[in-house]
Structure 1
Amino acid sequence: MTQRERILSIAVGGLIAFVLLQWGFTKYRTAVRTRNSRIESLNVQKLQIEEQLLAGAYAEHQMSEYLERSLPGSPERAQSDYQSWLLQLVQENQLNDPRVNPTSPVPVGGLYNRLPYRVDGRIALPNLVELLHAFYAKDYLHRISKLSITPARNQPGKLDLEMSIDVIALTSAPVDLRQPGNDSWRVDSAVAAYSAPILNRNFFEPPNKAPEFTGNAKIEVIVGKDSTTPLTFKDPDGHTLSYEFVEASPDFAKLDERTGTLTVRSEEKNEYKVLVRVFDNGYPRRTTEQLLSITVVDPPPPPVEVAKKEFDDSSQTVLTALVQGRDGWTAWLNVRTRGKTLKLRAGDQFEIGHLKGNVIDVTPKYVVLEVEGRRFELKPPEILAEAAKQSLDN
């Protein structure tokens, strides 16, 4: 083989090796891309499955609540039970000449039966408020779909009442299901919370609301120095406020009755309690009393430069869901800064950022946590650090 043939053979061999190397690299890169695409697709499927599981757990919890509030599954039994309760309701709240007329149940999608009722009679306004409160306090799956109230003729103080009611009986509910025993958590148990704003209202403007204290009930003042503190009361209706001490004015304190500025000067360190009353000029007049704790302290020391704290992961940790499984309820805490979700049950320990504690209990509405010997509740979608701080500050 001549020198020229040898060089040509080497060149051809090198070209073939380069082509083979290029082909192998392209095949490897294609395999890597395919693998990464597959991993991404599986992650998307995983998220979808987790969302479906969460939605299913929520739907299961919601359905169990509906079953507890439902009438019995038998339409005849449901209609009889509800009509008996409805008759007792109108009698207890003094509805005169009451008429409670049911109509035929209406099946809906094979899931439940809707039972319509029509109620009418004559009633006084205070009794009407109590009747409506008792109706909504009963934790049935029912509602008032139509309500008509008109002044009764020839009977001052009486009202003609007409209302249409719809109530639901799930077909999957047991036939011997008992009526709900507890009042609905959606309604305040005290009827006075509703009757007072309705019966004691000014018919020429919205009901007057009492002033609200929005400041800090603990006040610190410097010994031997005049200290002024504006008392922060807010009137929801924008009325003008006036201020006064409930008891005789203390020697060490003065209160401006027009601006609400509290001026305190004490020559000795001590702690005092003063009771302040605030009232508006609305109709009817509303008042609010607030007990203030005044502590006389030494002047504060010179400020000390504080080292910058590390970022706290608990300030970005959110309770995203409360999920019921076979072993009970689980709290899902999403640590946003770490991109991970902690699934905690009662008895588990946790350490997130600056917070370290135990899970005391997990319920359908909140999780009870313990940090530094203090227990507090965390509800979706509250932030862990804020709930813990509020508990530790109280």
Structure 2
Amino acid sequence: MSEREKKLAMIVGGLLGLVALFFGYQRLDSSTTRRENELAAVQAKIDELEKERRRGSSAAVKLNEFEKQSLPRDRELAVRQYDAWLTQTIEKIGFKERTVKFLGASPQQFNTNALKFQIYAQGNIAQLTEFLYEFKAANMLHQITSMPVKPVADSRDLKIDITIEALALSNGPPQLDAANRRKPPDKSLQQYADAIVGRNIFAPPNNPPRMASISDKRVSLGDRLSVQAEGNDSDPLDSLSYSLGEPAPSGATIDPQSGEIRWSPRENGTYDFAVRVTDDGFPAKSVQQTFRVSVVDPPPPPPIVQREPPREERPRLQFDEAKHTYLVATI
């Protein structure tokens, strides 16, 4: 074999080796990819099973929580105790013309009873907000299914019709322990009232009251100060109340109904008063007036005039007729 043939054979052999190496790599790469895909499929299955396990665990936790929030498992007891809780709640809030009515029960899956109640009541927007807050804070398995609200003419009150559905699970508690299961929302009642009552959609905007200005006063030490604050409101349904704001001298008082300010100063000086009048609209609004009181020494007493003692007057001589009378007799 010539040198040329040897080189050609080496080149052909090298090419065949490269081809064999290429196909071997392709087979190895295909096998590796297949195994990686199989591993990915297995891992996806494991992940799906783990999700199912977590969902099952979460469902078990929720079911346990629902059982704690459930009404008593005994239907008759659940109706009686939940009715009592509703009645006590609306009485505490101060609803007028209030009525709680049990509408009936409907069986559900898994031996569960859905109990339906209805509340008829009359109250203002602040009371309705408080009821909704207490309903949420009760931490019971209940919901409001409807709540028509209608304003009452010439009044701040609303006619309220609330339909409620509550669940009594077969594994629920034996008794309705409303006090211990209570769980208030994250926000306070005042925060909800500021957001809801402050935007009272059932009445026109509340106008602030007005108060007449009070002139500065001057009082003598030892005397009692009496000042009358006078407020009025353009809203015919509003009632006014008076209070002292800051600053207010120690010992000063005000009648919240009449607005009369009373104060007995103890030392001389200049004192600032702030008087506030507040209406009872939704939301309540107020205005304030300030005035100044100067306490001074009392005026000096009037001079004492020394009066001379009265002189004794001699008695006047009176004409005595008997003394100058003579008796003359004739015999």
TM-score (norm 1): 0.42
Greater relative contact order structure (CA < 8 Å, 6+ sep): 2
Decide which structure has greater helix share: 2
TM-score (norm 2): 0.49
Decide which structure has greater strand share: 1
